[in-house]
Chains A and B, each alone.
Chain A
């Protein structure tokens, strides 16, 4: 592309302060939350309105320039990487709350708004926005829409798609459309539903209509300390079998506990093999009625100690450890490689013992800190890239975990997305025909395929399986690094 001419035209749309062409400044955008992959955009634009987004997109469309959208850049699958160069559209300046409509239990926000800001804005009136990914103080609502983000609260309240009811989107053609809205069951196909989780490959959301909820009257958080992973896993199943759906059931293993205690000191016992955090919420009488049965289940599974947070401070401290777990890994390892695969909940004990075996086989430690309530694992394979071959070993181990999870009837990813990282694993889960159906949906929104190319779909022939080695080779070809 004729970079200078294009940059001039784009500047005409977004203004001088809305464009980045300086290589030093562009470097900020060369990677997202998954830092092993890097790709530089040629131009970055930072629009302030849907009209500006549409203007930029129309230029890209006309000039056949590939383009990608980026929220806060916290994504963990390389989804915001401009692997074919071109234009990167950063949404962080479109970050306003447009409407807090309490009467109708909806909020309308711009996509660049940080997830946690919305709940902060709603708090004085006793409302909140439920999806709370661990990165919620940084990640944007638009990014959450792209990734269909989850978080700890999903067992009871669901993921982003359950809370997004409408969108204003700019299609790759430059058209601005309204999908869904504040009311339920909009006419026609549920294009809002299929747009959520499309990982920035369908179009750019410029407004998001979300459900907001009344804060529960009471919240209780329990911590159970276990001597074996299996006891902790069985406790998860046992709670659910009692007909209780907690807001969250989170598990941490000993390596995670070590890291967290060194990092933030949440008060988890250092010698515990596993810690479970269980949170219930609702009307006070209901919450009170739930605590005893949960403690009973813990005891049936040989819990060493159960602690019920007595007040909000204790509750927040217990959560602080969980929320800081990824960041705290630096305390015990220079680097980690995190997987996000999902298994049916009953397979928890077997996958955990399999991961233990892999850890011994590869000679790499694994810290498990994950959403046990919905079977969404986050094994962090700990490695040090200064040791020859260790990063490759970590990746190989990660891919063995993915394969085992899919083999157990699970999924490649529960909340981080396929993006660039896991695209070549897609044939593990889907047939060529399944993927073709998805390609058709892509064509509905982006018939020319200019928008965020190279994501989600495997590069290899459909039906064939590339595996981690092949994948790395392909990525190296594409990116020249990694």
Chain B
């Protein structure tokens, strides 16, 4: 085995002095408390490939990383030798506006990509959390999505081609730079949401959408979760085509409203429906239809948000967080008809364990994010068992309704108490096989993915 010094020297020979960090400066890249022996910042696909070839020869465990916004996701790694940072692998590779496809290096930040595409009135229709910082590779590897997946889908619907560096250093491409393609297997699907356990995404081609020239929001305060359930069901069963339907619990609604500079009545849930279109009249007509559905469901008021208020509201929703202290974020996926029940269950368990709970849910997609924090910051000893219990109980509920619940963000103390991912069903043994084929040495992110992968 290479000594630390020898390893760092080898890496510096590959990448140059300034692109390798070791010792104390590497420790800020610790993953769940495990500091890497070195941090590498390759500047080309060839360098990523060379690093993996070295890792393969020396059995080094590698954690790929973009901007680091999602490093709290995943199980505690078995071992971390290298953190491989993709930030230098950024920028546009290929863009033809008329084709509505664009290829970027994986370390490109979503925000930078949108700036390039925005000049042509187009965008990658992804609106995940940390949109300012998150990189395209990180978004894909963690399958991050946001409110507008209702209209545009998620990464699996938008990624059309990828370039990946495999555990042995080989570089392959999957898919093609056209929106329709069935030549060979759709290997892109395997990399999305795989947390870098099968390969390191270094380049990604997306199908693009036109930025809707007009987008506005109908925001309604609601007395109860039952009202929310009723109105969402009516929206779903209508011919309306909302871009997003977001349901916030009172804690989340109050905080989001505050960020957007809106007054918010106490103890009210918030329902926000975004409508986008090429024409203002078309947006207004749909908003009016949403308000009519609200009135018919005994919702007394519904406001239209426009311009910067609309924009700020959705940014605050996407980037929702409960302060900077001890906090945990869970993500559940449930049947559409069970969203309201899932919110209720979250509230019950939070109350029992003295936790602050902010719920941000994509009510028409069945995605719920529970943000948990300690009500009393002075007593962490209650926080950890309380969160663990919340995860166990909410997970049991989501599984009853054909869904699942994962921990998106949590400190390692929580991860030692409760599994980050939960149990796989009958597909459990099959799930192990892609890892065995693609990364038999278990070099990439070992132990961080579901089922101990």
Q: Which residues of A contact B (CB under 8 A)?
A: 102-105, 147-148, 150, 154-155, 158-159, 161-162, 171, 175-179, 181-191, 193-194, 196-198, 214-217, 237, 240-245, 282-286, 288-290, 293, 342-346, 371, 374-376, 409-418, 422, 426, 429-431, 433-438, 440-445, 456
Contacts and interface: CB of A to CB of B under 8 A. Distances in A.
Interface string B429-441: 0110110011000
A177 B426 contact: yes
A293 B183 contact: no
Given A178-B426, A409-B177, A444-B434, A346 B96 contact: yes
B174 A437 contact: yes
Contacts of A215: 239
Contacts of A245: 209-210
B243 interface: no
Contacts of A150: 180, 182
Contacts of B181: 342, 411, 413-414
Contacts of A344: 96, 99, 101, 177-178
A438 B241 contact: no
Interface residues of B, number: 88
Given A158-B157, A345-B99, A411 B178 contact: yes
B427 A178 contact: yes
B177 A417 contact: no
B286 A283 contact: yes
Residue in A214, A242, A437 whose Cβ sees the most chain B Cβ within 10 Å: A437
A196 B186 contact: yes
B396 interface: no
A426 B184 contact: yes
Given A342-B176, A374-B180, A440 B437 contact: yes
21 contacts: A148-B186, A159-B182, A185-B333, A188-B451, A189-B434, A194-B187, A216-B241, A282-B241, A286-B241, A286-B285, A289-B282, A344-B99, A376-B180, A411-B180, A433-B170, A437-B172, A438-B185, A441-B434, A444-B430, A444-B437, A456-B184
Nearest to B364: A105
B438 A286 contact: no
Contacts of B153: 158, 162
Nearest to A147: B182
Contacts of A422: 183
B185 A441 contact: yes
Contacts of B91: none
Contacts of A417: 182
A342 B193 contact: no
Closest 6 CB pairs of A and B: A193-B189, A243-B210, A217-B239, A289-B279, A285-B285, A411-B181
B13 interface: no
B335 A183 contact: yes
B366 A426 contact: no
B333 A418 contact: no
B180 A342 contact: yes
Interface in B397-453: 401-404, 406, 421-422, 424-427, 430-431, 433-434, 437-438, 449-451, 453
Contacts of B59: none
B48 to A, nearest CB: 15
A243 B101 CA distance: 14
